């Protein structure tokens, strides 16, 4: 999964990047399943490997993006970005290494989570009902925004 | 034995890959993909903590999975709006390279 995640960044061809992203998300869905979160894993496959990826590939094909020409690389920006990312990685390793709970194995589940759609759904419609409605409004606003942005005569 | 720390490290590495992509790459579509990688890294650590905090009934803590559900929804909306903006930008400037889009640069 990490290899394909890196391939997203390294590939020069946008189509290869998008397909690496699919494989990376499928690996992530497998990790969710291994954490007994079946609902989230299936949503991950449906939303990312299905919808988002079709959207990315559609835009890449629509804009007809080819393999990028080798431009003069801005070395200051590239090395600066790499150094900041490396510093972030070192900090993450340090923090996780000093985190007491991180070295303990997961406690066992006494009940099966194979029906966690039911559990997530009942929590979503009871304790998290207001955020759920707000997210619905957000999706509506995003839809309207996309339609407005895509209109040709935006003057 | 797989521990919580292993999942957190994988999540951190995935986040770093996405961060490096945002910092290094200059194609705006790839930058959007790297943003998706970072959001998913956050999702992975949320699900790992959900599994780690087992409730008294013997089930994982589902609040984190609700957060993951919300994050996935927001990410999908964000991708749709972002790609619409990219299409509008491409119509106006015929480029997806961020260094060619510098009218707002001071």
pLDDT tens, position by position, A109-129? 777 777 888 888 888 899 899
Shortest CB distance from A59 goes to which of B21, B63, B87? B87
Interacting residues of A140 by C-beta distance below 8 A, sequence separation 6+: none
pLDDT at B2: 81
Q: Are A50 and B79 in contact (CB under 8 A)?
A: no
Mean pLDDT throughout B59-64?
Answer: 86
Q: The tokens of A82 are what? A: 């790499």
| Annotated domain spans of chain A | 1-69, 72-105, 116-155
**Which chain B residues touch A146 with a CB distance below 8 Å?**
80-81, 84
Shortest Cα–Cα distance, A85 to chain B (Å): 5
pLDDT at B35: 92
Provide the ipTM.
0.87
- Is there a contact between A149 and B88 if contact means CB atoms under 8 Å apart? yes
What distance, in Å, lies between the first and last C-alpha atoms of chain B?
53
Q: Name the most confidently modeled range: A45-49, A62-66, A104-108.
A: A45-49
Task: Give the pLDDT band of residue A62 (cuts 50, 70, 90).
Answer: confident
Task: Give the pLDDT band of residue B78 (cuts 50, 70, 90).
Answer: very high
Distances (CA, A) of A47 to A57, A71, A72, B59: 14, 34, 37, 25
pLDDT at B68: 93
Q: To the nearest whole percent, how much of chain B has pLDDT over 90?
A: 41
Separation of alpha carbons A70 and A79, rounded Å? 17
A110 secondary structure, DSSP code: S
What is the crossing angle of helices A129-150 and B62-93, to 10°? 10
* pLDDT over threshold 60, residue B80: yes
Residue that the structure tokens 């299409």 belong to: B87
B104 secondary structure, DSSP code: T
**Which chain A residues touch B18 with a CB distance below 8 Å?**
5, 9
Q: A104 CB near a chain B CB, below 8 Å?
A: yes
User: Which domains are present in chain B?
Assistant: 4-100 (1.10.287.3510)
Separation of alpha carbons B33 and A5, rounded Å? 10
- Is there a contact between A119 and B27 if contact means CB atoms under 8 Å apart? no
**CATH architecture of the region A1-69:** Up-down Bundle (1.20)
Shortest Cα–Cα distance, B104 to chain A (Å): 19
Q: The tokens of A102 are what? A: 């991180």
Q: Are A28 and B44 in contact (CB under 8 A)?
A: yes
């Amino acid at each position: 999964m990490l290899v394909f995640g890196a391939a997203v960044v390294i590939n020069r061809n946008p189509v290869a990047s998008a397909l690496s992203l699919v494989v990376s998300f499928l690996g992530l869905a497998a990790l969710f399943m291994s954490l007994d979160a079946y609902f989230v894993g299936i949503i991950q496959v449906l939303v990312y490997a299905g919808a988002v990826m079709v959207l990315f590939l559609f835009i890449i094909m629509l804009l007809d993006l080819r393999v990028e020409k080798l431009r003069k690389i801005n070395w200051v920006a590239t090395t600066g970005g790499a150094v900041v990312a490396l510093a972030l990685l070192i900090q993450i390793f340090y923090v996780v290494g000093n985190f007491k709970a991180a070295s303990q194995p997961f406690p066992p589940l006494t009940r099966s989570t194979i029906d966690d759609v039911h559990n997530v759904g009942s929590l979503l419609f009871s304790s998290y009902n207001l955020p759920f409605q707000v997210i619905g409004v957000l999706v509506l606003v995003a839809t309207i925004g996309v339609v407005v942005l895509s209109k040709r005569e935006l003057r | 034995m797989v521990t919580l720390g292993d999942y957190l490290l994988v999540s951190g590495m995935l986040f770093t890959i996405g961060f490096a992509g945002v910092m290094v790459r200059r194609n705006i579509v790839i930058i959007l993909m790297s943003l998706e990688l970072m959001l998913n890294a956050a999702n992975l650590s949320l699900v790992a903590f959900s599994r780690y905090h087992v409730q008294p009934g013997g089930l994982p803590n589902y609040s984190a999975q609700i957060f993951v559900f919300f994050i996935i929804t927001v990410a999908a909306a964000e991708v749709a709006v972002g790609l619409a903006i990219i299409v509008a930008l491409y119509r106006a400037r015929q480029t997806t390279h961020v260094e060619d889009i510098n009218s707002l640069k001071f």
